[in-house]
Structure 1
């Protein structure tokens, strides 16, 4: 009976592999699976018939598979395991005494010591060789690139945006330069392992079933004068004692707008801080005390801006302009509140926070008390960001990133829903007077020369490319640097206007005082892959060729890191234009070339041999899918047949970006590698749902466009990535040469393997950014395995990790407490679209 069971198992495996191998060969893939399947079928038939040569044939098959596997994947354990693990297990079962005895003739079975002979020896030798290869592979690290920075001296003494005390964190990237680098040095590679929890705070606000899927904790805490400021995904602002974690005050903007079918995000990446001295106030701003008027409610704001807008059942505007004109749509007519000539500012509002909300407001509150600061935006401390917007649809426009604050202005960008409709609000960028809230300039990327404040009875251009991520600011040059997105739809570019083609997926430098374009640098031409620039540009002064260069570092989703002169926009590290694939859907075209930087984390082109699975079967499935999809390497345009996009729109880098060390001239980041698939679905009409169900949130429908898009990760039937691991690294690079200094596999599958909680170090994806310190330690909490980690900046070696109670998809910050200790603060609240555990914890770590 044992022989029959084993023979049937081998036969079944052989049958599946043969059938799948024929299918794979038919779509242009490897013929090896056909050979493997036939050999397994032969071995199963022979063992069924008690022919001992079946065991020997199985051993030869195992050896052939091993040689083929090493030829395809090298000595990489995670690549070899799915090719041979199942066959090795069956080989062990075939070599057990019950099987060997059953293979002897009936008359010779009684009293035999097991009947091992030449064929059994061939199989045994094959298993020993396979075991040796497996053992060697398990302890090799073929994907690691070791390195050591050695003694690197300061590359440029003067850095942009100085003035923030060493022990504080005043802006999203610590300063408006966005370096994410702290001069603190108390925590070092030698003592980081002793970090322990100093305090924990719970906000009490977590994702619920009525919230959008992408309700995410992405806030980076600010720390000023021993007070920590955080916001929740629901735009609540909380002030904590940075040394003890005790709550000082809480400001709730009372979001009243319920999630709708068009609501895609609930996110707050942070608030912005401004400190003024009484003597610095403009003549029309006076100090006073007293209560401020309450902020306008979301219902009042949307109603005042959308009196003439109508929507269909899906929440999509019906009375909108859907053509490709660059000028703004004429509807609806909106009224901006009058700004008083004199502003009364309570004394406690000399220090203020600017709070963006997900329902389209910008509110200013006292950093000391959390109370509304009057006089800004018409007396109630609130600016209506829906003002002059076309295509008013609740949930379709929001400010998710902290604004930039200069000496006289607060500059606000905003997110517009991706790929819901071509009739979207505008991605306009606006600058308001710091004290009055009066509109000073507006930059509409479809009408870039009209920066004077728009008239009350006009509207901005609909569907203009937006800047949803965090901007940077150089006060010496008075330039603001904005990472730009695309107009919807991302995957179809037919009919885009001249200015859209210019500004989409670019770094945009504006004169902060006027909104005038100073320079722009496009990172993707005619973007069809949702490769918008996702991260805050890092501003750093580099020494190159003996000269100090004012540089800007721009990490991108496709993995290119562009290092530009931030004064001129010219590349500091070489950028070349390389040919790109050209096949597109009807009505579209592809750019003939795409820019590539000398500093690049773009992954190698995927091969069929890179397909992966936990077993032979799902790996074979992924190979077939790989061959069925259109894929000509990077920048393969989306098609109706289905396209493999690698890296996918999750991005090699996303909004977490990178940290830069001005003392060493390096960057530290978390490159991520996940392939996605895109299938363009032709629409029968402009408004019917194609890729989503009625009642579900609207994603990728592209109402008004000729195609909807079916987008998702490239996964096997088990839901695992079809490309072999690792999927995530930590890495460092030299910003003056473009050399990658080291790269290490990063993260475990503990929280991606269900109840098994497997601690395998496979390198997992992540979202969120790192920070670096003068002590030589980098910190990162963004991986999808719910850990915060500390790394030796010199080598990239992981030195410390601590378990988090929820997903840590936010960028940490570090500061000095009132007790003189250096603290690391981590937000653990989870990220809806990555599926990490939701939570509401703010955790501070310090040395004992």
Structure 2
């Protein structure tokens, strides 16, 4: 039963032979280190996901064999008991006991989905570091597949994760000052944890015994609160990013809200050694802040989300952080938040040390389509018309690629504000224009017309027309 037992991780023997031992720092856009390490989610802080290794190629790929198998660390879990101790047993037993004690603990009484493994393991110093759907962290010997340590924050005892991040964990972050090494990750119930990379023991001088409460200090955030689906309202599903001595945390906030009020997804930087908050950037601009005038009335007071839930990028040489932000709440209705709604659906560049805004570009004004920025900005060094440019490229759900000078925020190629269809819904007021990059060309088909409907047979065509009849279709941003 996959849900109870979790997943298995396999590694080819040729890969295993190539793994390195000594840790190396990540650079911004040069790819992963040449020694085979993978110290960040995207290989480097620029998320190029490029590895220079050439040991495996088309000639020997067919010769790969399984070197080892590893069963995920959340197949065997613990539960707190009344005496303050821990009961360690099969995860099915733990979940059954928790459900018996509180039938309303999880949405629809569905226990954590353990087969939902999505993490990208890091590889540093011969160890693989990753986290499980239940926010359990683990270190594995990269050569043998033996478990080195497991750290269990027991987030499943708090309830079902935010529905937009339902039992999703995409990875961890690694930090070292040359002597001390730490692994950090966010949990499904809204904590940032830090453990010793060698032992998995909590870094006791970090926050409160090795963790920081990420909900503390956020307007409308209340620990333990549930939404109308009986799920938690604040989670973390993507790895934090570490540059220098600053760790910055993403956030996943429920997209299934039915009220206009929601937790704002402010971005915050923390001291990687102490867990002390260094800065906060209010992604919903508060009174007298830049961008507050893009929120009509008092909508900035209650509107939430606009968080960076995905992967962040950084250029340590510049000291800049690049954050892909999502839409404002609620996703598909903006009648309670008229205006362009800065910084929703924005590529945001901040000073990594201070959290101050360097530049930004909003790719969707007054979002109504859930067109949040879903992927990491790619930091690339390119040459255009003979001119070298430190660039950042942001892919979007619409199939656009927005390219900027990552130092200044100036578009590399012109971006045009083009007219788009108005909203036909009473009380709604869509933006009259939206940004369209002139280059590169879209990588996705955009918009839909009746001519795009399936027409395998006349009967199927007629069925398709009946299905689409209640809907308004048209070009992008209809």
* Global fold match (TM > 0.5): yes
Q: Which runs of 5+ in 2 are unaligned?
A: 1-26, 76-90, 93-108, 227-231, 291-300
Map of 1:233 onto structure 2: 133
Q: How many residue pairs end up in the alignment?
A: 398
Displacement over 4 Å in runs of 4+? 206-209, 212-215, 260-264, 448-451, 613-616
**Residues 264, 277 of structure 1: alpha-carbon distance in 2 compared, 3 angstrom cutoff:** closer
C-alpha distance after superposition, 1:345-374 (max 9, x if no partner): xxxxx1100121000111100110111111
Is residue 219 of structure 2 the alignment partner of residue 382 of structure 1?
Answer: no
Q: Distance between the aligned counterparts of 1:251 and 1:224, measured in 2?
A: 18
Is residue 321 of structure 2 the alignment partner of residue 480 of structure 1?
Answer: yes
Q: Distance between the aligned counterparts of 1:419 and 1:488, measured in 2?
A: 9
Question: Contact (CA 8 Å) 1:161, 1:474: kept in 2 or not?
Answer: no
Is residue 237 of structure 2 the alignment partner of residue 400 of structure 1?
Answer: yes
Q: Distance between the aligned counterparts of 2:473 and 2:247, measured in 1?
A: 44
Map of 1:602 onto structure 2: 444
1:267 counterpart SS class: coil
**Residues 531, 237 of structure 1: alpha-carbon distance in 2 compared, 3 angstrom cutoff:** same
Question: Contact (CA 8 Å) 1:426, 1:464: kept in 2 or not?
Answer: yes
Q: Distance between the aligned counterparts of 1:354 and 1:173, measured in 2?
A: 16
**Residues 604, 402 of structure 1: alpha-carbon distance in 2 compared, 3 angstrom cutoff:** closer
Q: Distance between the aligned counterparts of 2:161 and 2:238, measured in 1?
A: 21
Is residue 261 of structure 2 the alignment partner of residue 423 of structure 1?
Answer: yes
For residue 615 of structure 1, report the CA deviation from its aligned partner: 6.0
Is residue 354 of structure 2 the alignment partner of residue 525 of structure 1?
Answer: no
Question: Contact (CA 8 Å) 1:213, 1:264: kept in 2 or not?
Answer: no
C-alpha distance after superposition, 1:163-201 (max 9, x if no partner): 845411011101111111111112223433443333222
Question: Contact (CA 8 Å) 1:352, 1:364: kept in 2 or not?
Answer: yes
**Residues 217, 618 of structure 1: alpha-carbon distance in 2 compared, 3 angstrom cutoff:** farther
For residue 578 of structure 1, report the CA deviation from its aligned partner: 2.3
Question: Contact (CA 8 Å) 1:511, 1:518: kept in 2 or not?
Answer: yes
1:550 counterpart SS class: strand
**Residues 470, 264 of structure 1: alpha-carbon distance in 2 compared, 3 angstrom cutoff:** closer
Map of 1:651 onto structure 2: none
Q: Which runs of 5+ in 1 are unaligned?
A: 1-157, 279-349, 452-459, 637-848
For residue 229 of structure 1, report the CA deviation from its aligned partner: 0.8
Q: Distance between the aligned counterparts of 1:544 and 1:260, measured in 2?
A: 45
Map of 1:210 onto structure 2: 110
Map of 2:160 onto structure 1: 259
**Residues 574, 357 of structure 1: alpha-carbon distance in 2 compared, 3 angstrom cutoff:** same
2:167 counterpart SS class: strand
**Residues 520, 595 of structure 1: alpha-carbon distance in 2 compared, 3 angstrom cutoff:** same
What is the aligned counterpart of 2:195 among 351, 365, 368? 365
Map of 1:846 onto structure 2: none
Structural mapping, 1:102-141, within 5 Å: none
Map of 1:183 onto structure 2: 52
Question: Contact (CA 8 Å) 2:313, 2:377: kept in 1 or not?
Answer: yes
Structural mapping, 1:805-844, within 5 Å: none
Is residue 336 of structure 2 the alignment partner of residue 495 of structure 1?
Answer: yes
For residue 160 of structure 1, report the CA deviation from its aligned partner: 3.3
What is the aligned counterpart of 2:426 among 586, 589, 594? 586
C-alpha distance after superposition, 1:427-464 (max 9, x if no partner): 0111111111111110112236879xxxxxxxx97515
Map of 1:67 onto structure 2: none
Map of 1:197 onto structure 2: 66
Q: Distance between the aligned counterparts of 2:414 and 2:164, measured in 1?
A: 41
Question: Contact (CA 8 Å) 2:332, 2:369: kept in 1 or not?
Answer: yes
C-alpha distance after superposition, 1:197-236 (max 9, x if no partner): 3322221547987147898322111001110011111101
Q: Distance between the aligned counterparts of 1:514 and 1:414, measured in 2?
A: 19
**Residues 507, 261 of structure 1: alpha-carbon distance in 2 compared, 3 angstrom cutoff:** closer
Is residue 267 of structure 2 the alignment partner of residue 436 of structure 1?
Answer: no
For residue 576 of structure 1, report the CA deviation from its aligned partner: 2.2
Q: Distance between the aligned counterparts of 1:174 and 1:253, measured in 2?
A: 26
Q: Distance between the aligned counterparts of 1:419 and 1:631, measured in 2?
A: 24
C-alpha distance after superposition, 1:61-102 (max 9, x if no partner): xxxxxxxxxxxxxxxxxxxxxxxxxxxxxxxxxxxxxxxxxx
Question: Contact (CA 8 Å) 2:163, 2:255: kept in 1 or not?
Answer: no
**Residues 562, 245 of structure 1: alpha-carbon distance in 2 compared, 3 angstrom cutoff:** same
1:617 counterpart SS class: helix
Question: Contact (CA 8 Å) 1:579, 1:593: kept in 2 or not?
Answer: yes
Is residue 232 of structure 2 the alignment partner of residue 411 of structure 1?
Answer: no
Structural mapping, 1:572-583, within 5 Å: 572-583=412-423
C-alpha distance after superposition, 1:273-309 (max 9, x if no partner): 001134xxxxxxxxxxxxxxxxxxxxxxxxxxxxxxx
For residue 485 of structure 1, report the CA deviation from its aligned partner: 0.7
Is residue 311 of structure 2 the alignment partner of residue 470 of structure 1?
Answer: yes
TM-score with structure 2 setting the length: 0.77
Q: Distance between the aligned counterparts of 1:426 and 1:568, measured in 2?
A: 27
1:270 counterpart SS class: coil
What is the aligned counterpart of 1:242 among 128, 135, 142? 142
1:625 counterpart SS class: helix
Q: Distance between the aligned counterparts of 1:202 and 1:162, measured in 2?
A: 30
Q: Whose helix proportion is higher, 1 or 2? A: 1
Map of 2:38 onto structure 1: 169
For residue 577 of structure 1, report the CA deviation from its aligned partner: 2.4
**Residues 260, 475 of structure 1: alpha-carbon distance in 2 compared, 3 angstrom cutoff:** closer
Map of 2:22 onto structure 1: none
Is residue 139 of structure 2 the alignment partner of residue 270 of structure 1?
Answer: no
Map of 2:122 onto structure 1: 222
**Residues 413, 261 of structure 1: alpha-carbon distance in 2 compared, 3 angstrom cutoff:** closer
What is the aligned counterpart of 2:395 among 555, 576, 581? 555
Which stretch has the larger CA shift, 604-613 or 568-577?
604-613
For residue 476 of structure 1, report the CA deviation from its aligned partner: 1.0
Q: Distance between the aligned counterparts of 2:53 and 2:163, measured in 1?
A: 44
Q: Distance between the aligned counterparts of 1:571 and 1:476, measured in 2?
A: 21
Question: Contact (CA 8 Å) 1:584, 1:590: kept in 2 or not?
Answer: no
C-alpha distance after superposition, 1:605-643 (max 9, x if no partner): 43334322776534421123234421121111xxxxxxx
